[in-house]
Amino acid sequence: MLYDYECKNCKNQFEVSHGMNEKPEIVCPECNCECKKVFSANGIIFKGSGWYVTDSAPSSSTPSAKDEG
């Protein structure tokens, strides 16, 4: 998995690939200082057919005035 890190000293941001359960000691590639993990929102990918706005829209159980006449 890819994780974002930021240097506590120079604020350099970069990505590091490591396992989810690993706790590696990450140092900045620019200044060799300690870094912290930066949390960011992951993208959601919908695959396959059927992912449309109308799929989650409430259905109308009463006919509209246009339908009545």
Express each pLDDT in 51-68 by its tens digit.
666 656 566 655 555 555
Distance CA 38, CA 11 (A): 11
Q: For residue 37, what are the domain limits?
A: 1-41
Would the pTM count as exceeding 0.85? Answer: no
Express each pLDDT in 1-14 by its tens digit.
889 999 999 999 99
CATH number at 36 reads 2.20.28
Distance CA 3, CA 40 (A): 9
So what's the pLDDT on residue 45? 73
Express each pLDDT in 12-55 by its tens digit.
999 999 998 998 999 999 999 999 999 877 667 777 766 666 65
Structure tokens at 66: 């246009």
In a domain, 29, yes or no: yes
Domain count, the chain: 1
> CA of 11: how far to CAs of 4, 16, 31, in Å?
12, 15, 10
